[in-house]
Amino acid sequence: MDFTLSAEQLLLKDAVTRFAAQPVEARGDAWQTFAQLGWLAVGAPEAAGGFGGPVEILLVMEALGRGRVVSPYVAQIVFTGALLRAAGRADLIEATTEGTRRFAVAYEEPRARYDASRVRTQGRRSGDGWTIDGEKVRVLDSGTADTLIVSARTDRGITLFLVNADAPGIERRVYAAEDGYDVADLSLRGVRVGDDAVIGGEGDGLAPLEYGIDCATAALCAEALGLCEVMLEATVAYTKQREQFGVPLSSFQALAHRMAEMYVELELLRSMAYYAAMTLAERAEPLERRRGISAAKAQVAKSGRFIGQQAIQLHGGIGMSEEYDVGHFFKRMTLLERLLGDRDFHLRRYCASQHGMAAPEPVPV
């Protein structure tokens, strides 16, 4: 298989890399920059002004990971874009590519353990529309979203609704995640929407929701690749300049072996991040897609933890200081390890897909 990047892909990767390498204060309004440079259109249908696909998204996310750029790109572009395409609502994507409309997906519920099918939020017929009641947790990047995509259970199954973020009956508790990203918990009490708020038909919401989650998971794997590249590079550079007993730390065989192991894990992570992107690019059928994405996320979680732990230990106390970047990269990697499904969940999901099951057995709560 040819992994050579095209000229357009190289230009995209170079542009995002240069942006991510700037100091935070020099980036300005990152979202507006993303829109002006066309990065919000990556992966979108051509009819909506989009271009590229999963491999281009991988290149963007790897570069953003290297710069530890805090942005809602995965939640508001990759996740929602894939979900809307799968639900047959590509007409809603054009506004997101222009940066004029921002969506957030509210699907995770208390005690659901990452399972998108465990939905207690209820959508009930009410006159000529619907009334939604329930709870959602850890809604990614909802603070800047003007529209929510909410999963709810109706008489026909799981249904997706478009809900105005400021609709009466919504209580949004926004807080910073462990690494500073924006998340929120939502309470929906008697939220009213019309029939036109249903996305993709009543009871047909689970398949596009799971597809969106898989695309977002693949993007997180690419971000983890960028984070781990920087952690390894920083560790090698530090051990070359830091001396002990009059010689660089890198000259000690035991430490050189550790960095060699970090490199092996990084290449495993790289392979699986590309495997996840290719699984999506080849439009694999759902069971094969779940198997590929879960295999990638499980390996990325394992390799990312190993690389981060070794980077911290080889840096010593400075690795955990607020002033040094490595600790912040490891903090983000630790969150990615659990975001959209931790390693245990994806191992169970992988095994379930191997046996032809759509979802792993639920974990008792």
Q: What average pLDDT does range 351-358 have in this prediction?
A: 80
Q: What average pLDDT does range 70-88 have in this prediction?
A: 93
**pLDDT at position 2:** 63
Percent of the chain with pLDDT over 70: 97
Quickly state the pLDDT bin for 143 (edges 50, 70, 90).
confident
pTM of the model: 0.93
Across 142-146, 160-164, 256-260, least confident range: 142-146
CB 208 within 8 A of CB 87: yes
Q: At what angle do helices 286-315 and 206-241 cross, to 10 degrees?
A: 20
Q: β-pairing, 157-164 with 198-199?
A: antiparallel
Q: How many CB atoms lie within 10 A of CB 292?
A: 23
Residue 323, burial from CB neighbour count under 10 angstroms (0-12, 13-18, 19+): exposed
To the nearest 10°, the Cα dihedral for 288, 289, 290, 296?
110
Q: Give the C-alpha separation, 349 to 288, whole Å.
A: 11
Residue 232 phi/psi, 5° resolution? -70, -45
Q: Which residue has the higher pLDDT, 48 or 184?
A: 184
Q: What average pLDDT does range 329-355 have in this prediction?
A: 92
Q: What average pLDDT does range 203-231 have in this prediction?
A: 96
Which residue has 């992570």 as its token pair?
A: 269
Q: How many CB atoms lie within 10 A of CB 282?
A: 12
**pLDDT at position 301:** 97
Which residue has 């508001």 as its token pair?
A: 76
**pLDDT at position 205:** 94
**pLDDT at position 358:** 64
Q: Does the structure show a pLDDT above 90 at 347? A: yes
Q: Which residue has the higher pLDDT, 191 or 49?
A: 191
**pLDDT at position 346:** 95
**pLDDT at position 171:** 94
**pLDDT at position 29:** 76
Q: Looking at the chain, which runs of residues are DSSP E strands?
A: 103-106, 122-126, 129-140, 147-154, 157-164, 170-176, 182-194, 198-199, 243-244, 247-248
Domains of the chain plus CATH, in order, are 7-97 (1.10.540.10), 103-199 (2.40.110.10), 206-354 (1.20.140.10)
Q: What average pLDDT does range 344-354 have in this prediction?
A: 92
**pLDDT at position 227:** 97
Q: Does the structure show a pLDDT above 70 at 327? A: yes
Q: Give the C-alpha separation, 75 to 334, whole Å.
A: 18
Q: Residue 285, CB half-sphere, CA atoms under 13 Å: how many?
A: 4
Q: How many CB atoms lie within 10 A of CB 167?
A: 15
**pLDDT at position 248:** 84
Cβ-based neighbours of 203, under 8 Å, separated by 6 or more: 154, 155, 156, 157, 158, 159
